[in-house]
Amino acid sequence: MADTMQLLNSLADGQFHSGETLAANMGVTRAAIWKQLKKIEAMGLPIDAVRGKGYRLQQPLELLELKRIRQLLPESSHDRIGKFELFASIDSTNGYLMKEVALQQGAHICFAEMQKSGRGRRGRPWVSPFASNIYCSIKWQYDIDPISLSGLSLALGVGLMRVLAATGGENIGLKWPNDIYWNNKKMAGLLLELSGDVNGPCYVVAGVGVNVRMPARLDTDIDQPWTDLYSLLGPQTPGRNKLAADLIHAWLDILQCYPEQGFSHYQQEWNDWDIVKGRQVVLSTPGREVQGMAQGVNNEGALLLETEKGIESYHAGEISLRISS
C-alpha cells in the first residue's frame, strides 16, 4: 500500500503527470506505475489517461496527513493525545481500537482513508470509500463506572454539530440518538462502544463517519437516503484535514469534561438541534413498536415520547427511530 499512497500523493492535485516522470520520482519502471494505477482505479478513484499528457485523477484529492492535522489543532488538544494513527485502509477504526490496550494517559486516536468493514449502530454497515469522507475513532479511559456515562454519545453528537454548524451549513440537525441529518438525509453518524469493569475503570471508543464528498456511484450501495457536506456547501466545503482537527478538538473537550458536567450540560443544545421534536415517530424495540410524538430528550439523553399513556422515556441501545409524519 505504501507505493500506492506515494503515487496517489503525486496525483492528488488532479493535474496530468507523465508516466515517465512518475516512474523516475518513485524509482520504479513504467510497468510498475501502470500496475499501481490499476490498484488506484480498483479503489474507486477513476483516472484519465491521455497520450502525450500522462495520467490524472478525475477529481483532486486532499489526503489526510497527521502532521497537518496536528498543526491545525489548538495547543490544549496536543497534551490530551497519547497515540495518533492514520491507516490507508482498515477493517474498522472502532474495531481496531476496541482490541487495542487502553492508554493510561491521553487519547488513542485512529483515522483511516478507507474502511473495509465500517460499522454503524446495531451492526449496520457504514459505506467507507477511499479519501472521500472522515472515518475516525477515539479511545478514552475513565476511572468511573459505565452507568455514569449515560448520554455521552449524545453529547458527542452535540460536539459534531458544533463543528458542522461552524462550516456555515444551515438546517443541519440531530436525529436521536446520534445521527446528523440535512434535508431529511443522513450526513454523519456516531458509534460509541464501552468496555471495562462495572465499577470502573472503563474505556470508551467513540467512532464517527462524516460524509464529506461521497462518490455518486455509491448511491445503490447505501440502503437509506444520504447526503454529504459538499452537497450543502459546494466549493466552500472545508478541507478534510481541517474538519478532522476541529472534530478531534471538540470531542477531546467533551470526553475530558463529561464526568463533571454530565449530559445536562448539553441537553438544551441538543434539543435546539433536534429535527424530530414535535413530529410523529415510531420506535422499534426488540419486542414491539411504539408510536407517539417526540418531545426532545431529558437530562440523561433519553428520548421523551408522548403517547396515549403520557410522556415515556426511552434510552438508546437496540432501538431505532423513524419519522412517520
Question: Do residues 180 and 104 share a domain?
Answer: yes
Task: State the pLDDT confidence band at 204, using cuts at 50, 70 and 90.
Answer: very high
Question: Do residues 22 and 95 share a domain?
Answer: no
Task: State the pLDDT confidence band at 221, using cuts at 50, 70 and 90.
Answer: low
Give the pLDDT confidence score for residue 49 in this predicted structure.
92
Q: Considering 139, 186, 213, 277, which one is annotated as catalytic?
A: 186
Question: Do residues 81 and 197 share a domain?
Answer: yes
Question: Do residues 118 and 71 share a domain?
Answer: yes
- Told to judge if 121 belongs to the known catalytic residues of this protein, a careful annotator would answer yes
Find out whether 41 and 94 touch, Cβ atoms under 8 Å: no
d(CA 103, CA 188): 27
Angle (CA) 50-56-60 rounded to 5° is: 150
For the segment 57-72, the average pLDDT, to the nearest whole number, is 94
Q: Where are the alpha helices (DSSP H) in the chain?
A: 2-11, 19-26, 30-42, 66-72, 75-78, 93-99, 152-165, 229-233, 240-261, 267-272
Question: Do residues 176 and 221 share a domain?
Answer: yes
Question: Do residues 17 and 95 share a domain?
Answer: no
Angle (CA) 189-192-196 rounded to 5° is: 170
CATH number at residue 44: 1.10.10.10
Which residue, chain included where needed, has cell 441537553?
A: 267
Which residue, chain included where needed, has cell 482537527?
A: 245
For the segment 296-321, the average pLDDT, to the nearest whole number, is 87
For the chain, the domain total comes to: 3
Give the pLDDT confidence score for residue 95 in this predicted structure.
94
Q: What are phi and psi for residue 106, nearest 5 degrees?
A: 85, 170
d(CA 16, CA 48): 9
Average pLDDT, the chain: 90
Question: Do residues 84 and 215 share a domain?
Answer: yes
Final residue of a structural domain among 270, 285, 315: 270
Q: Considering 56, 80, 121, 139, which one is annotated as catalytic?
A: 121
DSSP-assigned letter for residue 246: H
Whole domain around residue 284: which residue ranges? Answer: 276-323
pLDDT in tens, 171-187: 999 999 989 999 989 99
Question: Do residues 255 and 233 share a domain?
Answer: yes
- Told to judge if 213 belongs to the known catalytic residues of this protein, a careful annotator would answer no
Question: Do residues 87 and 214 share a domain?
Answer: yes
Give the pLDDT confidence score for residue 31 in this predicted structure.
92
pLDDT in tens, 118-166: 766 555 666 778 888 999 999 999 988 888 898 999 999 999 999 999 9
Question: Do residues 263 and 300 share a domain?
Answer: no
For the segment 66-72, the average pLDDT, to the nearest whole number, is 96
Q: Which of 116-120, 124-128, 303-307, 313-317 holds the top average pLDDT?
A: 303-307
Question: Do residues 44 and 86 share a domain?
Answer: no
pLDDT in tens, 241-281: 999 999 999 999 999 999 999 999 999 999 999 999 999 99
CATH number at residue 308: 2.30.30.100
Give the pLDDT confidence score for residue 120 in this predicted structure.
61
Question: Do residues 10 and 148 share a domain?
Answer: no
- Told to judge if 186 belongs to the known catalytic residues of this protein, a careful annotator would answer yes
- Looking at per-residue pLDDT, the higher value among 295 and 124 belongs to 295
Final residue of a structural domain among 270, 296, 315: 270
Note the pTM of the prediction, 2 decimals: 0.90
Give the pLDDT confidence score for residue 116 in this predicted structure.
87
Residues near 137 by beta carbon (within 8 Å), at least 6 away in sequence = 93, 94, 96, 97, 109, 110, 205, 206, 207, 208
